[in-house]
Amino acid sequence: MSRIAYFADLMTTLFERRPGKPDVASRAPIAELCAALLSSRGEVSGARLARDILAHYARLDAEGRRAFFAYLAADLDLDPDRLTEAAAAYKAKRDARTLAKLTREAEPRRQELFRRLNQAPGATGELVRMRLDLLNLLPEAPELGVIDPDFQHLFASWFNRGFLVLRHIDWRTPANILEKIIEYEAVHAINDWDDLQRRLRPNDRRCFAFFHPAMPEEPLIFVEVALTKGVPGSVQTLLAEGRTPLADGEFDTAVFYSISNCQEGLRGISFGNSLIKQVVEEVRVDLPQVSRYVTLSPVPTLARWLEKVAPERPPVAQVLEAAAKADPKAMEPHKAILRRLTAEYLLHVKRGDGMPADPVARFHLGNGALLHDVHALADTSANGFRQSCTAMVNYLYDVAKVERNNEAFVTDRQVAAAKQVLALADQGETTGKK
Amino acid sequence: MSRIAYFADLMTTLFERRPGKPDVASRAPIAELCAALLSSRGEVSGARLARDILAHYARLDAEGRRAFFAYLAADLDLDPDRLTEAAAAYKAKRDARTLAKLTREAEPRRQELFRRLNQAPGATGELVRMRLDLLNLLPEAPELGVIDPDFQHLFASWFNRGFLVLRHIDWRTPANILEKIIEYEAVHAINDWDDLQRRLRPNDRRCFAFFHPAMPEEPLIFVEVALTKGVPGSVQTLLAEGRTPLADGEFDTAVFYSISNCQEGLRGISFGNSLIKQVVEEVRVDLPQVSRYVTLSPVPTLARWLEKVAPERPPVAQVLEAAAKADPKAMEPHKAILRRLTAEYLLHVKRGDGMPADPVARFHLGNGALLHDVHALADTSANGFRQSCTAMVNYLYDVAKVERNNEAFVTDRQVAAAKQVLALADQGETTGKK
Amino acid sequence: MSRIAYFADLMTTLFERRPGKPDVASRAPIAELCAALLSSRGEVSGARLARDILAHYARLDAEGRRAFFAYLAADLDLDPDRLTEAAAAYKAKRDARTLAKLTREAEPRRQELFRRLNQAPGATGELVRMRLDLLNLLPEAPELGVIDPDFQHLFASWFNRGFLVLRHIDWRTPANILEKIIEYEAVHAINDWDDLQRRLRPNDRRCFAFFHPAMPEEPLIFVEVALTKGVPGSVQTLLAEGRTPLADGEFDTAVFYSISNCQEGLRGISFGNSLIKQVVEEVRVDLPQVSRYVTLSPVPTLARWLEKVAPERPPVAQVLEAAAKADPKAMEPHKAILRRLTAEYLLHVKRGDGMPADPVARFHLGNGALLHDVHALADTSANGFRQSCTAMVNYLYDVAKVERNNEAFVTDRQVAAAKQVLALADQGETTGKK
Amino acid sequence: MSRIAYFADLMTTLFERRPGKPDVASRAPIAELCAALLSSRGEVSGARLARDILAHYARLDAEGRRAFFAYLAADLDLDPDRLTEAAAAYKAKRDARTLAKLTREAEPRRQELFRRLNQAPGATGELVRMRLDLLNLLPEAPELGVIDPDFQHLFASWFNRGFLVLRHIDWRTPANILEKIIEYEAVHAINDWDDLQRRLRPNDRRCFAFFHPAMPEEPLIFVEVALTKGVPGSVQTLLAEGRTPLADGEFDTAVFYSISNCQEGLRGISFGNSLIKQVVEEVRVDLPQVSRYVTLSPVPTLARWLEKVAPERPPVAQVLEAAAKADPKAMEPHKAILRRLTAEYLLHVKRGDGMPADPVARFHLGNGALLHDVHALADTSANGFRQSCTAMVNYLYDVAKVERNNEAFVTDRQVAAAKQVLALADQGETTGKK
């Protein structure tokens, strides 16, 4: 039985807010409206101005948006001279008032603008989309880049872990949320509602997402989980049509086989680690029969590295040649070598800063996971052949060791790996080398 | 019919969060834990550290808390020199990276600490209480004042209007919320559950509160509303036991007769104006028969001013003398004079900055309300006699004029008042003056 | 704002009930279990027995089910002799005890069995399916027909209007409910999720369903509503892909264009009339701009009648000939005649009891609606050509006249119709008659 | 996390139903309205008539109600002759149509009236109150008794276990429900909100209630549970103010110390057994550390029996004499004897049908519980002294034995009791007997 109902109701108002009829609104230039909003005391006219500005912004074309961002960058920046002055004052006199003044000077005024815009109903989501517009503009207008730290700073505060809400996504979830799951799945595309159903409905499937109360219809990130007997080595097997789901007593492993960020406008605000940790906790409580938490993860940069080293290592070239045929049978004879190369790549190939070259590896190892196993012929989709010659990897989340692993990884760049993978990596290093 | 249920559910997790058994936790000094939390990458150990620190903090005695705040003030401050340097760099090169660095330097590290503490379940409320501890310490330890701007800055962002949720409070509200309404009522004390029931249950009573999704069981501010026929001039009449409630067709006026802030730890984060505005909107939609929105407000500083001027104005002295008897009959002959003096006080007595001396007047006039009427014998409680010789006031919220009034008040210190009150104030000025 | 949350929660338990692991249950013959359940006092073993019986029943094959029903019909019938005796006793002595005894004797024991089976979680839905099994068996085993009055009597009591709950169905409805809407739509088939979305999501579409609290995931009946400007005369126009939805201010008419019963096992338990009435009420409150409530209804038996009279009425034969081509263009020249024939059919062709021959007409006229208009080329689907040569009809629900119409229809078989339709019907009668 | 929200929403409509403005309703005699409702086809006018009748009924005075019931008893009875005829027809021809006719004749028409009245919003609760009015009338108007079997039959069907919903009652429950808990507590009166809080809020207290979806604000029955270390022998200890609640790990026993029926209008519709069983199931899942389920129950008829036997058994007279002082100290010396007498009474004193004389014993033993222990000085309230000289009893619900105990009790009148109680009972029998 649940005691949620009352607090649940808290969400009501947010959700039921009348969307605010599009005022035949103010035709004043948007900059003027922004100045008015920034100068307004209290909120007497604030919410109305905020709504007008956002409505105005929504009607802007590309050029108009660029002009708006230029205004934010130039006119609503901070003043380094006054900031320096305020810093000196605070150095001289460390009290609350002087610090408050310094704090005000240290913040570009556009940040306060964003906070005030957030008074309008639905504004949080619109600000996230506004940042996405900005990010899309940056390649051609790098001078607007100064705006982004303000978005980032604000969003990191607003989307603080303490404000996120974990939700089950299943076949009882409202359709408008589910269609977003279809849309946002970034790892193993969901073809249609039937495919979605295969991932949500069976007894041995789970899906979880983080939401923010101010954007209740927009998942921020979600993870798809398969409950399996043993650690799986092929995503096609996991997602096969017509397979027989396992009953409650039959599975012992939770497999995170797909993690997708949903909001590009929240780029750089990290949720993945928290999500995995909380899902592990959920599964642990609900399904005590599950004793192992692993991923089945892609190695998205493997093929690129293989191509780089192929000229000097003939067996690597053969692997790539076989992969080019996109035919599992052609790949079959190279499985052992591919596994060794994958282990070698993940364990021994580093970026300049000593971190693993592979971004997925950086993510999971950075979360404290251990490299548990490597598989060949594990992803035989077109994309699987292309990016990793079919290789996939299991990262293991061992709750007891996650902190230690994370510590060793962050401090000493030390990668936690199972013995079998270490052995494979050693063999990999000698494969095709002279 | 409502479509809320799904989104409602978003609140669930927050609420159902297992409270996190008090770990027989780390005995490390709290400062060490804070340093660890600030240096931790990602959140692998973050949530656990946050929980440990908050649990540790909760066990501190007064001295321990003072030491902890001293640590925050001294060790986790910003460095004005490095900030100055970063400001210079940004002046020289206005790009995102330089600004991001500046932003980091411009923020005392304790602010990031607070954000990271917020990862722990229930942390938001605990941080609000932590600030209250700080505020209580400040009189004797003003050097800790530098911490407060960081709390304020963070809370202003977290408790942004866009994240607040308005809720009806009525006799169907959970008891644990209602007992807080009893506890927090600051204007006209609620004696017990029967008294509460009289304010919530009748057809002509309403109550509304703001909540934050991360503190779903803690009202932030609430307003009590009476629906009346005409504008009332006595709070005792409003709150009388045994009165007959009005039916739906009988009332035409919504009276805000009590507004109470609930969280002292959110001092300075203003909700009142937003609350009134949104409640007006709610009532407007639900009860179209209501055509007038007024307050019935105290004048908490009136008696103090009367005492100041009494020596020179004999009739004022007589009013005070009558009030001292705390007997309505004694007050009766002075009603006319008291009304004039109240009008005079609110319209003509100012602070140094030109604002009205009375804080309640500043609040409502600052929200764009108009001083609609003044009453004598309007609050005959002990407190009413003491603070205002029984005078009370109606402020009128006329939606069509609120922005204009607010503008004139903020810009020109001009107080909107009904003609009758202006006339009374003029009479007041001559009362007892030579 | 909504106050629903708490009561909403009442549903929780029903829904969250653990599904009751399939016991490796009793292998006793089902009849023996039923006898045990009927003889059990209190419910100590009742709920367990009920679950066992239902699990047992679910595993029966066709023959087993037939045997089970034979047992219900023969062994759990009432005893007319004892009933006669009890009736005589009550005639002699009209008191509660004698009546209670009579009541017991007057009820076949299988009815008590059904009530006791309902103790098991989810039993209500299973009993509805059990009746469906029975109905499907009746054609070949009419002797089992005596069981059905007991189901009917019980279901009429359980699914009493007072226990049904009206719900909006929209794009925010859980997918598992929506897939049932797709499945159960009986009038204008829903092809896929995109088609469904076109019927639920636009601003000018609504859908409502009745649910019973004990079957929260099973709609009982639903109606699809289009909001239009004026009364529509073509369902293809209503359902067209790519049409532009009307804004809130643009529509004035609510069109019930599809009503589908969902539970065959509830055949004979009528919900349609209540549903239409309550939906009219909902729309009236939510959308005051809607001033007219009509249907766009099929005439499913028209073609059959046309075929019957065609031999003697050459123009009718021509209409049928044109319809056989299933080509709107071929139908175009016959529109006027088809309208007249449709009006004639609905107004003048009756069953033996004086009721209209057409079942849809009987339903809506029986609800107090008025025959408002008839259309040709209104349903150009294959089915539309086949069953009604493309004719469709509007029935008008005029709240002020519904009771009077219903009275006149039930008492005097008088059909309420608009003047234009009456005129058409008169013309129809002369069409092709000698 | 919970998936309830959607289904939760099902309750919404029921709850939000506009209360139906009191029509300036029909002034027709209520009997006429009832006849109209019974003769109405479909529901076109049904819901309106139902509402009118109930509104009319609500305004009746005592005499009017009696006249109304007289009408139900006389005019809406069944006709034994026609029933006999229908029974004969069914005997001759066992088919569905003949049975349906028989079924109709076998049911007094007032039963159909009640079902149709239930169409009105909120009608279920009003019908329950209507039956209570009837029950209160019966002593002086026994001829109206024939109406009651119809209420009973209908309510037994409507309040079928399968439709009830179990809910936690705690300090988060809405106040309007909680005030009903205060009002309905029948065993150990709840003095005020503070007392209520002591029973709901501590970690080692629980309360559960059954609700019906059509009466969402009215508990039907509730049970108060204490979680204790060991089996308690005093209710005052359980309910003591200022006691320290046990932490989660400290309790091992769930004690049902108070069960109260709430709706007198549902007298004879039994919920208690189901409630206990489902609460045991809830506790078992939520609190696996609880390994024992007992009651702490009164023996409400003990003193009466003691008084009866006292003349012949001097020690019994002494016990009664001590109890009359209502002073625990006076009772102290008689504890051992009182325990023996209590055991004797419960095990050996029977009604004519062989059932235990004590009604609480009949209830729990009939549910399959075992008489586990007897206590003296266990209820030292005024009522405790008066009804049982302070004796109380534990009944033990041992899930594994409940069915067997129930079987033996119902079939052979065999009372399950712990050895110690059996021994005490034997000693009891010799106490004071010659």
Q: pLDDT for A2-48, tens place per residue?
A: 333 333 333 333 333 333 333 333 446 899 999 989 987 655 578 88
Q: So what's the pLDDT on residue C47?
A: 83
Across the range D146-173, mean pLDDT stands at 94
User: DSSP 3-state assignment of A155?
Assistant: helix
Task: Suggest the residue from C2, C4, C10, C278 to mutate for an interface test with chain D (most D CBs closer than 10 A).
Answer: C10
Rounded CA separation C277/C281 (Å): 6
Cα-to-chain-centroid distance, residue B395: 17
Six-digit token pair at A289? 């029969």
Q: How many CB atoms lie within 10 A of CB B331?
A: 21
Rg (CA), chain C: 26
Q: Is B108 in CB contact (< 8 Å) with chain A? A: yes
Question: Residues 6 or more apart from C196 whose CB is under 8 A from it?
Answer: C178, C181, C182, C190
Rounded CA separation C389/C375 (Å): 11
Across the range B151-168, mean pLDDT stands at 94
Across the range D233-248, mean pLDDT stands at 93
Contact C106 D102 (CB under 8 A): yes
Q: So what's the pLDDT on residue C43?
A: 54
Nearest Cα residue to C324 out of C239, C385, C233, C383: C385
CB C372 within 8 A of CB C396: yes
Chain C from 328 to 387: CB within 8 A of any D CB: 366-368
Six-digit token pair at D308? 């009866």
Q: Which residues of D touch A175 (CB under 8 A)?
A: none
Rounded CA separation A179/C109 (Å): 50
- Following DSSP, what letter does each residue of A96-118 receive, concatenated? HHHHHHHHHHTS-HHHHHHHHHT
CA distances from A138 to A59, A70, A72, A73 (A): 20, 11, 14, 12
Min Cα distance B204 → chain A (Å) is 22
Find the length of chain C: 434
Contact C45 D95 (CB under 8 A): no
CATH 1.20.140.90 boundaries in chain D: 3-158
Q: So what's the pLDDT on residue A21?
A: 37
Contact D174 B176 (CB under 8 A): no
Contact A3 D282 (CB under 8 A): no
Q: pLDDT tens for residues A301-349?
A: 999 999 999 999 999 999 999 999 999 999 999 999 999 999 999 999 9
DSSP state at residue B404: H
Q: So what's the pLDDT on residue A43?
A: 54
**Measured on CA atoms in the order C219, C222, C224, C225, is the torsion positive or negative?**
negative
**Measured on CA atoms in the order C335, C341, C346, C347, is the torsion positive or negative?**
positive
Helix B80-92 vs helix A80-92: crossing angle, to nearest 10 = 170
- The strand pairing partners of A224, in sequence order, are A207, A258
Contact A6 C6 (CB under 8 A): yes
Contact A170 D2 (CB under 8 A): no
The reply to whether CATH 3.40.630.180 applies to domain B162-295 is yes
> Assign residue B377 a region: left if phi > 0, alpha if psi is -120 to 50, beta otherwise?
left
User: DSSP 3-state assignment of D212?
Assistant: coil
Q: Which residues of D touch A170 (CB under 8 A)?
A: 3
DSSP state at residue B416: P
Q: How confident is the model at residue D133 (pLDDT cuts 50, 70, 90)?
A: very high
Contact B175 D176 (CB under 8 A): no
Q: Is C8 in CB contact (< 8 Å) with chain B? A: yes
Q: Is A256 in CB contact (< 8 Å) with chain B? A: no
Q: Which residues of A touch C178 (CB under 8 A)?
A: 175
ipTM given for this complex: 0.86
- Only one residue has tokens 């601003």, namely C203
The reply to whether CATH 3.40.630.150 applies to domain A297-428 is yes
Cα-to-chain-centroid distance, residue C50: 29
Which ranges of D262-301 would DSSP assign to H, the alpha helix?
272-286
Q: How confident is the model at residue D429 (pLDDT cuts 50, 70, 90)?
A: confident
Question: Chain-wide mean pLDDT for chain D?
Answer: 89
Residue D324 pLDDT > 90, yes or no?
yes
Q: So what's the pLDDT on residue B271?
A: 87
Contact D87 C83 (CB under 8 A): yes
Of B6, B166, B172, the CB nearest to C3: B172
Rounded CA separation A205/A199 (Å): 6
Q: Is B4 in CB contact (< 8 Å) with chain C? A: yes
Contact D146 C94 (CB under 8 A): yes
- The strand pairing partners of D242, in sequence order, are none
Find, in chain D, the residue whose alpha carbon is nearest to that of B15.
D1
Q: Is A169 in CB contact (< 8 Å) with chain C? A: no
Q: Is A15 in CB contact (< 8 Å) with chain D? A: no
Six-digit token pair at C29? 């013959």
DSSP state at residue D416: P
Q: Name the CATH code of domain C3-158 (choices 1.10.1660.10, 1.20.140.90, 3.40.50.620, 3.90.1280.20).
A: 1.20.140.90
Across the range D255-276, mean pLDDT stands at 92
Contact C6 B174 (CB under 8 A): yes
Q: So what's the pLDDT on residue C410?
A: 85
Six-digit token pair at D342? 């209590």
Q: Which residues of B touch A12 (CB under 8 A)?
A: 2, 4, 7-8, 165, 167
Contact B175 D173 (CB under 8 A): yes
Rounded CA separation D299/D389 (Å): 9
Nearest Cα residue to D101 out of D77, D79, D76: D79
Q: Is C285 in CB contact (< 8 Å) with chain B? A: no
**Measured on CA atoms in the order C351, C355, C356, C360, is the torsion positive or negative?**
negative
Six-digit token pair at D246? 């046990």
CA distances from D183 to A150, C245, D209, D222, D381 (A): 57, 54, 14, 12, 19
Q: pTM for this one?
A: 0.89
Q: Which residues of A touch C173 (CB under 8 A)?
A: 174-175
Of A5, A170, A174, the CB nearest to D8: A5
Q: D292-295 and D253-261 as β-strands: parallel, antiparallel, unpaired?
A: parallel
- Label residues D189-213 b or e (16+ Cβ within 10 Å = b): ebeebebbbbbbebebbbbbbbbbb
At B75, the amino acid letter reads D
Q: Is B6 in CB contact (< 8 Å) with chain D? A: yes
Rounded CA separation C414/C406 (Å): 9
Could you tell me how many CB contacts below 8 A there are between chain C and chain D?
260
CB B339 within 8 A of CB B353: no
CATH 3.40.630.150 boundaries in chain A: 297-428
CB D428 within 8 A of CB D340: yes
Contact D8 C8 (CB under 8 A): yes
Q: Is D172 in CB contact (< 8 Å) with chain B? A: yes
B-contacting chains (≥3 CB pairs under 8 Å): A, C, D
Contact A171 C174 (CB under 8 A): yes
Six-digit token pair at D355? 């059932």
Residuewise pLDDT in 10s, chain A (434 residues): 333 333 333 333 333 333 333 333 344 689 999 998 998 765 557 888 999 999 999 999 999 999 999 999 999 999 999 999 999 999 999 999 999 999 999 999 999 999 999 988 899 999 999 999 999 999 999 999 999 999 999 999 999 989 999 999 999 999 999 999 999 998 888 999 999 999 999 999 999 999 999 999 999 999 999 999 999 999 999 999 889 999 998 999 999 999 999 999 999 998 888 899 899 999 998 999 999 999 999 999 999 999 999 999 999 999 999 999 999 999 999 999 999 999 999 999 999 999 999 999 999 998 899 999 999 999 999 999 999 999 999 999 998 898 889 888 988 899 999 999 999 999 877 777 76
Q: Is D59 in CB contact (< 8 Å) with chain A? A: no
Q: Is A289 in CB contact (< 8 Å) with chain B? A: no
Q: Rounded to the nearest 5°, which phi and psi values hold at D121?
A: -60, 135
Q: pLDDT tens for residues B284-320?
A: 989 999 999 999 999 999 999 999 999 999 999 999 9
Could you tell me how many CB contacts below 8 A there are between chain A and chain D?
24
CATH 3.40.630.180 boundaries in chain B: 162-295
Residuewise pLDDT in 10s, chain C (434 residues): 333 333 333 333 333 333 333 333 444 688 989 998 998 765 557 888 999 999 999 999 999 999 999 999 999 999 999 999 999 999 999 999 999 999 999 999 999 999 999 988 899 999 999 999 999 999 999 999 999 999 999 999 999 989 999 999 999 999 999 999 999 998 888 999 999 999 999 999 999 999 999 999 999 999 999 999 999 999 999 999 889 999 998 999 999 999 999 999 999 998 888 899 899 999 998 999 999 999 999 999 999 999 999 999 999 999 999 999 999 999 999 999 999 999 999 999 999 999 999 999 999 999 899 999 999 999 999 999 999 999 999 999 998 898 889 888 988 899 999 999 999 999 877 777 75
Contact B10 A216 (CB under 8 A): yes
Q: Which residues of A touch C5 (CB under 8 A)?
A: 5-6, 8-9, 12
Q: How many CB atoms lie within 10 A of CB C264?
A: 13
Contact B172 C2 (CB under 8 A): no
Six-digit token pair at C297? 């209804």
Nearest Cα residue to A175 out of C221, C225, C179: C179
Find the length of chain B: 434
